[in-house]
Amino acid sequence: MAHADHLGAALAFDFGLRRIGVASGHSLTGAAAPLATVSNGGHGPDWQAIAALVQAYKPAVLVVGNPYNADGSPGAMSAAATGFATELGTRMQLPVQRTDERWSSREASAELQQRRAAGTRRRRVQRADIDSVAAAIILERWLRGE
């Protein structure tokens, strides 16, 4: 279950150099849902879009995926994700938790492909869809206390 000191709504972020997937969830239900994808480019993350999501969902905590390699060592994106997590907490004035995001994008991609094959999803799977579903997977892991 989610950490007792962070009961309530949460937003999770799957940090990427081009896009940041965002998902929302709640500690009471333990469920998370993909929300949006925010751009991240030469000028950094779209902080206005992130602030608007924080305003709309009023989370008690923000969760940022920690990119590890298969062997558990910090991944190539680790430093950038940590910098994002630090700035996110400062800008949004909210606690930021980190959780292992290993294989979340692969898991998200597989989930979306399955939905499409089952006919519950009509349109083609886009990279942005994968990012927001990966954020939901990250949040569900955090809510389960992984």
Domain ranges of the chain: 4-143
Angstrom distances, CA of residue 90 to CA of 32, 64, 95, 115: 24, 14, 9, 37
| Per-residue pLDDT at 142 | 86
Name the residue with tokens 């602030």.
51
For the chain, how big is the Rg over CA atoms in Å?
14
| Per-residue pLDDT at 90 | 97
Closest CA to 23 of 37, 33, 8: 33
Q: How many CB atoms lie within 10 A of CB 35?
A: 20
Q: What is the pLDDT along the chain (146 residues), one digit of tens a residue?
A: 444 455 789 999 989 888 899 999 988 888 888 888 899 988 899 999 999 999 999 999 999 988 766 677 777 778 888 999 999 999 999 999 988 765 666 665 666 566 666 665 465 656 656 677 788 888 888 887 86
**Does residue 38 contact residue 27 with C-beta atoms inside 8 Å?**
no
Looking at domain 4-143, does it have CATH number 3.40.640.10? no
| Per-residue pLDDT at 37 | 87
Beta-carbon-side half-sphere exposure of residue 105 (alpha carbons within 13 Å): 15
Q: How is 3-54 classified by DSSP, letter by letter?
A: -GGG-SEEEEEE--SSEEEEEEEETTT--EEEEEEEEEETTEE-HHHHHHHH
